[in-house]
Chain A
Amino acid sequence: MSDTVEIAERVEAAPPGRPSRSILRRVGGELLRRREASVLIVAIGLGAYFASAHEAFLTQPNLVNIAQATAPVAIIAAGMVLVLVSGEIDLSVAAVAALAPFNMHYLVDYYSVPILPAIGLALLIAAAVGFVNGAITVFLKVPSFVTTLGTAYVIIGTVLVTSHAFPAPIPDAATDRLRSWFGHSDWAHITWCVLIVAFFHLLLTRTRWGLHTIAVGGNPLGATEAGIRAGRIKIVNFMMVSTLGGFVGILEAFRINTIDPNIGGGFGIMFLAVSAAVIGGTALAGGSGTVAGAFLGALVLAELQNGMNLIGISANPYFVILGIAILVSMIANVYLSRLRRLGRT
């Protein structure tokens, strides 16, 4: 057949092993293929620059600062990537981050629930919010952007009404040990973060769940024709990101040692998480994304804010740089994926 000429490339060449390539091409291909690589380079470059610009950058207290700024964004981003890959978005996670510690506080102080079950219940309620988001999106076919915008305001309002917009103290029932586990000690945040990011990275890249999430975002009709239950995938992804949002809210409350209605910043940390995901190489269109990349994206954002602070640039230009970083990474993303598609890696 004439068509064999152009596609006969492999034929009987390689049963288990891959065709050998020059190391240079392999590294180049790997860089192209691994979306995380370019963000990693930026993260290292920024670290090197700030380390040389200010001696305080690499001191332990400052590294703790960076870790504590990276972790909440990266934890939420880990779940957000799955939602984005399945073709949806959740604008309500930051609101859930404010809600969860208050629920913990109400349960412990008004309903005398012990602290650990209270934390568990608060996370369950967060998951329930995710379920509502998913159900409205999937069953009533409301775009998730609108669904979660609505639930976000409902939750923000609920938090303000029930708390009278005043912060609350951490319940006395919380022992010192529990407090340090849940974010009061220096490295608690980043430890949770690394565990969660590793888990979600595996979930997306190495499990059926991840594969089906990609399929649902990449080809919704095709995935359904193959028998994948798209609605279920989406709803559970919403539940996971929402739970992570609640968890971040509780971590933050323990870290700052108070339960503040401003945890999550209304929409703030949600947008940072989406930014981290996008900078890390996740497309908003669905079908592709990386959790590890989102973690690196969160690290880059934390480094930028921290480093600029250290070298005495005011906080304001941070947003300019954040905006440029999003645009550049998105353009690079589009360009690189075109290259990837053309190149036969």
Chain B
Amino acid sequence: MAGDGNGEALRVEHIAKRFGGVTALADVNLRLGRGEVLGLIGDNGAGKSTLIKIVCGFHQPDAGKVFVAGEEVTIRSVDHARSLGIDTVYQDLALVNELTVYHNMFLNRELVRWPLLSNRRMQRLARQHLEDMGVRIPDVDVEVAKLSGGQRQAIAVARSVYSDAKILLLDEPLAAMGAKEGALILDLVRDLKQRGDVSIIVIAHNFGQILEVCDRINLLQHGSITFDKPTSETSVQELTDLVVAEYRAARTRGLGQDQATDTRGRG
């Protein structure tokens, strides 16, 4: 078994998940090395989100095994996943607009000198931590509502890292973000990679951007990983062709048999 020494952060084997009559994941095998950044691509409805939600404890798989740092685990809940060092940055970010950056950074993990909050300490630590991570914002005591989308995403990622996440799942971190803002996040991911102690799975649609930061790319198709290559051995063109080819094939099949497109359409 690949253990700690092998530098493996996460491995899933033969994961399957059905929702009613729809097979979301048929047989997924995936491996995430320590300090690795893995890009997970696939068309809408390929099961990317389902896979992420299984790893982060939101769904339980119908079959298959999950290994964290070489040890098999049954992830019972989101909290359980967190205690294992697995944290997800959802698209909605879970930030509270009305609160300051540092209160968001410490949300539900506040530092307290009972009965009052240790605001100064949280402020100092948040400032320090964001600086260490190279996240630039006006100041930690501004309300999150005043920040740009990229800055908010960066805060959410920084918060997960600060809470000692070893495995970070980024669900479409670049969606609805301009090039400039996206660059901010990609820089952040790159910095984390340099530190080497955080392993990351990034779900993305934009292959160009994802190739910039990922070490390896996995393509999820019809509920299994059908493509696994180091970034250096593939290209935007190849990835695009793969996804489009799948789309064409499904469409052709769909002409004769409606069910194929039907199944693909669902999450």
Q: Is the CB of B136 within 8 A of A11?
A: yes
Q: A218-B97, A226-B94 are in contact. Are A3 and B184 (CB under 8 A)?
A: yes
- Any A CB within 8 A of the CB of B124: yes
Taking CB atoms and an 8 Å cut-off, the chain B residues in 68-127 that contact chain A are 78-79, 82, 90, 92-99, 103, 107-108, 110, 112, 115-117, 119, 124, 127
**Please, which residues of chain B bring their CB within 8 A of the CB of A227?**
78-79, 82, 108
A side interface size, CB within 8 A:
36
B109-153 residues at the A interface, CB under 8 angstroms? 110, 112, 115-117, 119, 124, 127, 131, 136-139, 142-143, 145-146, 148, 150-151
Which residues between 205 and 227 of chain B lie within 8 Å of chain A, taking CB atoms? none
C-alpha spacing A40/B129, complex, angstroms: 38
Docked-complex contact A228 and B107, CB < 8 angstroms: yes
By beta carbon, the residue of chain A nearest B97 is: A218
Q: How far is the CA of A243 from the CA of B95 in the complex (A)?
A: 32
Chain B binder among A88-96, A208-216, A234-242, A311-319: A208-216
Distance between B67 CB and nearest chain A CB, rounded to angstroms: 25
Contact of B96 among A2, A10, A15, A223 (CB under 8 A): A223
Complex: A85 Cα to B78 Cα, angstroms: 27
Contact mask for chain A residues 1-36; partner B; CB cutoff 8 A; 1 contact, 0 none: 111100111111001101000000000000000000
Chain B contacts for A223, CB-based, 8 A: 94, 96, 107-108
Cα–Cα distance between A218 and B96 once the two chains are bound (Å): 6
Residues of A participating in the B interface, judged by any CB pair closer than 8 Å: 1-4, 7-12, 15-16, 18, 202, 206-208, 211-212, 214-215, 217-219, 221-223, 225-228, 287-288, 341, 344-345
Question: Is B228 part of the contact surface with A, judged by Cβ < 8 Å?
Answer: no
Option from B98, B108, B117 in Cβ contact (under 8 Å) with A218: B98
- If A218-B97, A219-B96, A344-B138 are given as contacts, then 20 extra A-B residue pairs at C-beta distance below 8 Å, sorted by A number, are A1-B183, A1-B184, A1-B187, A2-B180, A2-B183, A3-B184, A7-B136, A7-B138, A10-B137, A15-B127, A16-B124, A207-B112, A211-B107, A211-B117, A223-B96, A225-B90, A226-B94, A226-B107, A288-B98, A344-B142
Interface size on B, residues (CB 8 A): 40
Contacts of B187 in A (CB 8 A): 1
B43 at interface (Cβ–Cβ under 8 A)?
Answer: no
Minimum-distance CB pairs A-B, first 4: A222-B94, A218-B98, A225-B94, A287-B98
With a cutoff of 8 Å between Cβ atoms, the chain B residues found around residue A18 in the complex are 139
Bound together, the chains give a CA A16 to CA B115 distance in angstroms of 24
**Main DSSP-derived SS at the A contact region:** loop
Q: Least Cβ distance of A2 to chain B in Å?
A: 6
Closest beta carbon of chain A to B101's beta carbon, Å: 11
19 residue pairs bridging A and B, Cβ less than 8 Å apart: A3-B150, A16-B124, A206-B116, A206-B119, A207-B112, A208-B110, A208-B112, A214-B98, A214-B99, A218-B98, A219-B94, A219-B96, A221-B92, A222-B92, A222-B95, A223-B107, A225-B78, A227-B108, A288-B98
Q: Are B146 and A287 in contact (CB under 8 A)?
A: no
Give the residue of B79, B93, B117 whose beta carbon is less than 8 angstroms from that of A207.
B117
